[in-house]
Protein backbone atom coordinates (compact mmCIF):
# COMPACT_ATOMS: atom_id res chain seq x y z
CA UNK A 1 0.00 0.00 0.00
CA UNK A 2 1.32 3.45 -0.88
CA UNK A 3 2.32 6.08 1.64
CA UNK A 4 -0.32 8.41 0.17
CA UNK A 5 -3.02 5.76 0.62
CA UNK A 6 -1.95 5.29 4.25
CA UNK A 7 -2.16 9.06 4.80
CA UNK A 8 -5.62 9.08 3.20
CA UNK A 9 -6.78 6.38 5.62
CA UNK A 10 -5.51 8.36 8.62
CA UNK A 11 -7.04 11.60 7.31
CA UNK A 12 -10.37 9.79 6.81
CA UNK A 13 -10.16 8.57 10.42
CA UNK A 14 -9.81 12.15 11.70
CA UNK A 15 -12.52 13.46 9.36
CA UNK A 16 -14.99 10.80 10.52
CA UNK A 17 -14.23 11.64 14.14
CA UNK A 18 -14.72 15.36 13.51
CA UNK A 19 -18.14 14.64 11.99
CA UNK A 20 -19.12 12.40 14.90
CA UNK A 21 -19.27 9.40 12.56
CA UNK A 22 -18.05 6.83 15.08
CA UNK A 23 -19.09 3.92 12.87
CA UNK A 24 -16.92 5.12 9.96
CA UNK A 25 -13.96 5.90 12.24
CA UNK A 26 -14.17 2.47 13.88
CA UNK A 27 -14.45 0.79 10.45
CA UNK A 28 -10.99 2.17 9.61
CA UNK A 29 -9.52 0.32 12.61
CA UNK A 30 -8.52 -3.32 12.44
CA UNK A 31 -10.50 -5.57 14.79
CA UNK A 32 -7.15 -6.34 16.44
CA UNK A 33 -6.05 -2.70 16.75
CA UNK A 34 -3.59 -1.94 19.54
CA UNK A 35 -3.90 1.63 20.87
CA UNK A 36 -1.29 2.82 23.40
CA UNK A 37 -1.55 6.09 25.28
CA UNK A 38 1.81 7.03 26.71
CA UNK A 39 1.91 8.33 30.27
CA UNK A 40 0.66 7.51 33.74
CA UNK A 41 -2.89 8.88 33.75
CA UNK A 42 -6.06 6.85 34.09
CA UNK A 43 -6.29 7.18 30.29
CA UNK A 44 -2.81 5.76 29.68
CA UNK A 45 -2.00 2.18 28.78
CA UNK A 46 -2.54 -0.21 25.91
CA UNK A 47 -6.04 -1.05 24.70
CA UNK A 48 -6.22 -4.30 22.71
CA UNK A 49 -8.91 -4.63 20.05
CA UNK A 50 -11.87 -2.43 19.13
CA UNK A 51 -14.05 -3.56 22.03
CA UNK A 52 -11.43 -2.79 24.68
CA UNK A 53 -10.62 0.54 23.02
CA UNK A 54 -14.28 1.57 22.93
CA UNK A 55 -15.12 0.38 26.44
CA UNK A 56 -11.97 1.33 28.33
CA UNK A 57 -10.85 4.53 26.58
CA UNK A 58 -13.25 6.07 24.09
CA UNK A 59 -16.40 5.61 26.18
CA UNK A 60 -14.96 7.14 29.35
CA UNK A 61 -13.31 10.06 27.50
CA UNK A 62 -16.16 10.98 25.16
CA UNK A 63 -18.81 10.62 27.87
CA UNK A 64 -17.14 13.64 29.51
CA UNK A 65 -17.23 15.79 26.35
CA UNK A 66 -20.15 17.77 24.91
CA UNK A 67 -19.49 17.11 21.23
CA UNK A 68 -16.30 15.15 20.82
CA UNK A 69 -12.97 16.64 19.79
CA UNK A 70 -12.49 18.91 16.76
CA UNK A 71 -9.06 18.08 15.36
CA UNK A 72 -6.66 20.28 13.42
CA UNK A 73 -3.81 18.43 11.74
CA UNK A 74 -0.61 20.49 11.88
CA UNK A 75 1.76 17.95 10.34
CA UNK A 76 1.42 14.56 8.66
CA UNK A 77 4.45 12.50 7.65
CA UNK A 78 4.44 9.02 6.17
CA UNK A 79 7.08 6.37 5.71
CA UNK A 80 6.37 2.78 4.77
CA UNK A 81 3.43 1.52 6.82
CA UNK A 82 3.66 4.41 9.33
CA UNK A 83 1.92 7.79 9.41
CA UNK A 84 2.84 10.32 12.09
CA UNK A 85 0.45 13.17 12.85
CA UNK A 86 0.98 16.22 15.02
CA UNK A 87 -2.42 17.68 15.83
CA UNK A 88 -4.50 19.82 18.16
CA UNK A 89 -7.88 18.99 19.59
CA UNK A 90 -10.52 21.46 20.73
CA UNK A 91 -13.33 20.37 22.98
CA UNK A 92 -15.45 21.22 25.99
CA UNK A 93 -16.43 18.98 28.86
CA UNK A 94 -20.04 18.39 29.81
CA UNK A 95 -19.53 20.76 32.74
CA UNK A 96 -18.17 23.55 30.50
CA UNK A 97 -14.40 23.26 30.96
CA UNK A 98 -12.23 23.65 27.87
CA UNK A 99 -10.30 20.53 26.94
CA UNK A 100 -7.85 21.68 24.29
CA UNK A 101 -4.97 19.24 24.04
CA UNK A 102 -2.04 18.69 21.69
CA UNK A 103 -1.15 15.26 20.33
CA UNK A 104 1.32 13.25 18.39
CA UNK A 105 -0.15 10.06 16.94
CA UNK A 106 1.88 7.32 15.31
CA UNK A 107 -0.33 5.10 13.15
CA UNK A 108 0.64 1.79 11.57
CA UNK A 109 -1.44 0.71 8.59
CA UNK A 110 -1.75 -2.85 7.37
CA UNK A 111 -4.00 -4.05 4.53
CA UNK A 112 -5.90 -0.76 4.49
CA UNK A 113 -6.69 -0.73 8.23
CA UNK A 114 -5.17 1.01 11.22
CA UNK A 115 -3.60 -1.79 13.28
CA UNK A 116 -1.56 0.20 15.79
CA UNK A 117 -1.67 3.68 17.31
CA UNK A 118 0.70 5.26 19.79
CA UNK A 119 -0.60 8.52 21.26
CA UNK A 120 1.39 11.19 23.06
CA UNK A 121 -0.60 14.02 24.70
CA UNK A 122 -0.57 16.47 27.61
CA UNK A 123 -1.31 13.92 30.32
CA UNK A 124 -1.47 16.50 33.13
CA UNK A 125 -4.19 18.37 31.25
CA UNK A 126 -6.12 15.17 30.55
CA UNK A 127 -6.01 14.07 34.19
CA UNK A 128 -6.94 17.49 35.58
CA UNK A 129 -9.81 18.16 33.17
CA UNK A 130 -11.14 14.65 32.48
CA UNK A 131 -10.39 13.14 35.89
CA UNK A 132 -10.55 9.43 36.57
CA UNK A 133 -12.02 6.64 34.47
CA UNK A 134 -13.80 5.32 37.58
CA UNK A 135 -17.58 5.30 37.11
CA UNK A 136 -18.19 7.35 40.28
CA UNK A 137 -15.89 10.23 39.28
The pLDDT tens digits of the residues spanning 30-70 come to 999 999 999 988 889 999 999 999 999 998 998 999 988 99
The strand ranges marked E within the chain are 29-37, 45-48, 70-79, 82-90, 101-110, 113-121
Number of neighbours of residue 73 by Cβ within 10 angstroms: 15
> Where along the chain do its domains lie?
3-129
Between the alpha carbon of residue 26 and those of residues 5, 61, 77, the distances in Å are: 18, 16, 22
pLDDT at 42: 86
Q: Tell me: the pLDDT tens digits for 4-38?
A: 999 999 999 999 998 889 899 999 999 999 999 99
What global pTM score does this model have? 0.92
Q: What is the pLDDT of residues 93-119, one digit of tens each?
A: 999 999 999 999 999 999 999 999 999
CA-wise closest residue to 57 among 35, 30, 89, 39: 35
Please say whether the structural domain 3-129 has been given the CATH code 3.40.50.1780.
no
Amino acid sequence: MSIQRNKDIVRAFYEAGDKGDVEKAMALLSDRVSWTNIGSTDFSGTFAGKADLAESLLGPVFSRLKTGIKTTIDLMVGEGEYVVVQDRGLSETTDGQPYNNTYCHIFRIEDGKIVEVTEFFDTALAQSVLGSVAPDS
